[in-house]
Amino acid sequence: MSRWPLSAFALCAVVTMLMEIGLDAPAPAGDAPPHHAYGGFRNLDPLYSYPLLKRARHVFRASPPRGPSPAVLANDGGELRANGYHPTMTWIGHSTFLIQMDGVNILTDPHWGERASPVGFAGPKRLVRPGIDFADLPPIHAVVISHDHYDHLDRGTVRRLAREHRPTFFVPLGIKAWLADNGVHEAVELDWWQASRFRELTITCTPAQHSSGRGLHDQNRRLWSSWMIAGEKRRVFFAGDTGYTPALHEIARRLGAPDLAALPIGGYSDYRVHHPNHLNPEEAVRVLDDLDAGLMVPMHWGTFDLNREPFREPPARLLAEAQRRGLEDRIAILSPGQTIQW
């Protein structure tokens, strides 16, 4: 192998390593919100810590046997394209969902790429194909982005969406400029607790505990968030990426309990008890309870060669914890391509 591929692979590994590090940042001066920092943003939990050495050990150690991948259900998008106002959620894979409510088709963290990486020949590879082919999507009216990591913000996908569907993107602070640099100009940028009306929906940017950055130069320069989408009769919560923090309870207190919550359950393997940036399955059940959500759909598992736990471990642990707490009727574990009404 030539030196260039080796060097590029090393650079890709370093960038991936830095993708989810929460660097310490000083508090802002004056009247700026407390999650703002000089030159960027920060997490507010005083116990938050994600050391570089811990992240490096996670990235560079070998992956365990994955076990069987989630089976992709056949979904040609026909029923979704014909749907008028029935509320549905379809898991595309990882953190990508198609949500239909009040006549609006919404994508979350859309990713149809082959890798979650800054380069096309290295980095975490997609191991399970998308649950719906991009060409089979119904018209996409809105897109919500939780943060700028490569497994949640895919350049090729957002460019294609802008070109073929012309949706409005709803993004946390800092991502609107990145979208504009990539030829995407229909974007609404919000800070935590800010809301925007879109057709019959209210879309609110809500807190999360995570980090941001796509390289060595922009760590925590763009905000990370979760989202609450409220329609005339129903609310759906999309957590994006987050570690557990009691502050998540404030979301339901301010905005009301969601009927449906999409919560991450994978990526915890280097912290078996409490990962600062990712919910483990037991914590996801705790968030379900904190939010008083009617139904939870798990995400952020079983798609990319990114997490270190076996594919089937997160949903198995999730179901076991839900059964222990008597909440199993409020869990819907989907296969890629599967649609539920809610």
Q: Is residue 156 assigned to a domain?
A: yes
Report d(CA 11, CA 326) in Å as an integer.
46
Asked if residues 296 and 265 have their Cβ atoms less than 8 Å apart, the reply is: no
Q: Is residue 45 assigned to a domain?
A: no
Give the residue-averaged pLDDT of 157-180. Answer: 98
The pTM score is 0.91
Span of 51-55, 250-254, 330-334 with lowest mean pLDDT = 51-55
Q: Is residue 69 assigned to a domain?
A: no
Q: Is residue 68 assigned to a domain?
A: no
Q: Is residue 21 assigned to a domain?
A: no
Report d(CA 217, CA 197) in Å as an integer.
34
Q: Is residue 13 assigned to a domain?
A: no
Q: Is the pLDDT of residue 15 over 70?
A: no
Three state DSSP letters for 129-185: CCCCCHHHCCCCCEEECCCCCCCCCCHHHHHHHHHHCCCEEEEECCHHHHHHHCCCC
Say whether 320 sits in a helix, a strand or coil.
helix
pLDDT of residue 278: 96
pLDDT of residue 51: 72
Q: Is residue 143 assigned to a domain?
A: yes
Q: Is residue 234 assigned to a domain?
A: yes
Residue-range definition of the domain harbouring residue 259: 78-341
Give the residue-averaged pLDDT of 141-164. Answer: 98
Report d(CA 237, CA 295) in Å as an integer.
10
Share of the chain above pLDDT 70, in %: 87
pLDDT tens column, 87-142: 999 999 999 999 999 999 999 999 999 999 999 898 899 999 999 999 999 999 99
Say whether 106 sits in a helix, a strand or coil.
strand
Please state the domain count of the chain: 1
pLDDT of residue 49: 86
pLDDT of residue 6: 40
Give the residue-averaged pLDDT of 29-53. Answer: 87
Report d(CA 216, CA 219) in Å as an integer.
7
Position 67 confidence tier, pLDDT thresholds 50, 70, 90 = confident
Give the residue-averaged pLDDT of 156-167. Answer: 98
Mean pLDDT (the chain, rounded):
90
Q: What is the CATH number for 272?
A: 3.60.15.10
Q: Is the pLDDT of residue 62 over 90?
A: no
Give the residue-averaged pLDDT of 226-234. Answer: 97
